[in-house]
Structures are given as C-alpha cells and as structure tokens.
Amino acid sequence: MRISLLGPPGSGKGIYAEKLGKDFRVPVISVGNILREEVENKTEIGKKIENSMKKGNLVPDELVLKLVNDRAGKKEDIIFDGFPRTIKQINVDIDLIVSLTCSDKVCIKRIKDRRICEKCNKIYNILTLKPKKKGICDVCGGKLVSRNDQGEDVIKDRLRIFRKETLPVIEYFKKKGNLDEINAERSVDDIYLDIRKLFKPKK
Ligand code: ADP
C-alpha cells in the first residue's frame, strides 16, 4: 500500500511517517528531509532551492516529482511524508491519503517547540517529545537544532501556502474517496494508533 500523510506544517506528518516506517519496515519518502539533505550537502539542486526553502516556499513541482519518482520506482509499499503538496504533484500512484487536521494556533506552538537531529533528522519537541538527554538525539547522539524555517513570519507564510496549494489536493482526494481525516490535536500515541490501523502493507 502506498499511503501519504498530509497536513499543515506542525501537524506531525514527519513523526508518524517515521514511526510507521519503522514498525512496518517500509520505506519512507519524506520530501522535506530529502530537500534538506540536498541543501546540507550543497549539491547543485541544494544550492538552487536553499533560499526558497528558508522562506518556507515550495520547491518546483518538476524537481519534487523527479526526486520522488527516482525513489518510489515501482515499490508497492511506501509511506509518503508531505507529498503531493500541489495539484501538479498528483502524478504518482497513491492508495490512501491521511489528512491530519490541526488549528493554526497549535501548529505554530508545535513548530516553535520542535527540534530535529542535525545528523539523522529525528524529530523532537522540547515539551512533549523530549530526548533523554537535553539537546542530544536518543538514537545517534547528534545535536538537536531548530530548523532555519521556524521563525514566526515564515511559519505563517507556510500555513498560507498550505491553504493555497495543499488544501486543493486534500479536497481532490476527498472527492475521489480515498482520504481519511485524523484529528491531529490529540496525543502522539492516540493519533499514531489511528493511523496505524489504516496502513495495510501488501508484503
Ligand atoms: P513542514 O511540514 O513543517 O512544512 P517539511 O519537512 O514537510 O515540513 O517541508 C519543509 C519544506 O520543504 C517546505 O516548506 C518546502 O519548502 C519543502 N517541501 C517539502 N515537501 C514539498 C513538496 N511536496 N513540494 C514542494 N516543496 C516541498
């Protein structure tokens, strides 16, 4: 099964995608992580997208589609995190969309409290998903940092872009009948249980 987690920035897509991937041993395609790696590694692509990512803008559709297609191939079981984010990106087979719903207020608070491991990208929250040792990743010992797109103005822009570009994608799949909505303002464990029930890998 190819499942995709969509929702506003801060709704928790990344955390649940990572958990599902581990539990079911299924590959996760996190477009945000892939793009951040390109920037960190200073690749040709990375240099081109660095500025727009910092501002919270979306990266061009053609580029995202290429990166996703290269990784997805013909794999039957995949977890997509943050894809497709625009109508033009609806160009890859996906069986089920999980739409995480969350108010702007909660999203903004969560993003401010979010930290990620600079080495392995694992996501933490300084209030609700704390590491065992302050500032250090439980898994790889890497340093926990804020992302460079976490400023209040940038967050508000990303929420605006979500409404303009990604809500139409959610509406499209809702009409098609392969979308489940999940209230993402509950505890991580409760939300994850609900998402887990929806994922039925083929292998
Ligand atoms: P968030 O869900 O908090 O926005 P992500 O890690 O999913 O975080 O995305 C971070 C950034 O990566 C986005 O602001 C955007 O610049 C870029 N990005 C991620 N997914 C896509 C996509 N499908 N299309 C275009 N740009 C994307």
Residue 132 has pLDDT above 90, yes or no: yes
Q: Quote the pLDDT of residue 165.
A: 98
Binning pLDDT at 50, 70 and 90, where does residue 152 land? confident
Burial 164-179 (b: 16+ CB within 10 A, else e): ebbeebbeebeeeeeb
% of the chain exceeding 70 in pLDDT:
100
Give distance in angstroms: CA of 31 to centre of ligand 1. 6
Binning pLDDT at 50, 70 and 90, where does residue 150 land? confident
Best probe residue, ligand 1, of 59, 111, 114, 155 (max atoms within 8 Å of C-beta): 59
- Order of strands across the sheet that contains 2-6: 28-30, 78-81, 2-6, 96-101, 179-183
Pairing of strands 114-117, 96-101: unpaired
Summarised one tens digit per residue, pLDDT across range 160-174 is 999 999 999 999 999
Give distance in angstroms: CA of 69 to centre of ligand 1. 16
Question: CA distances (Å), 107 to each of 10, 156, 159, 163, 197, in order?
Answer: 5, 10, 9, 13, 24
Summarised one tens digit per residue, pLDDT across range 69-126 is 999 999 999 999 999 999 999 999 999 999 999 999 999 999 999 999 999 999 999 9
Phi and psi (nearest 5°) for 81? -115, 110
Distance CA 188, CA 179 (A): 20
The reply to whether ligand 1 has any atom less than 6 angstroms from the CB of 158 is yes
Q: Report the predicted TM-score, pTM, of the whole model to 2 decimal places.
A: 0.92
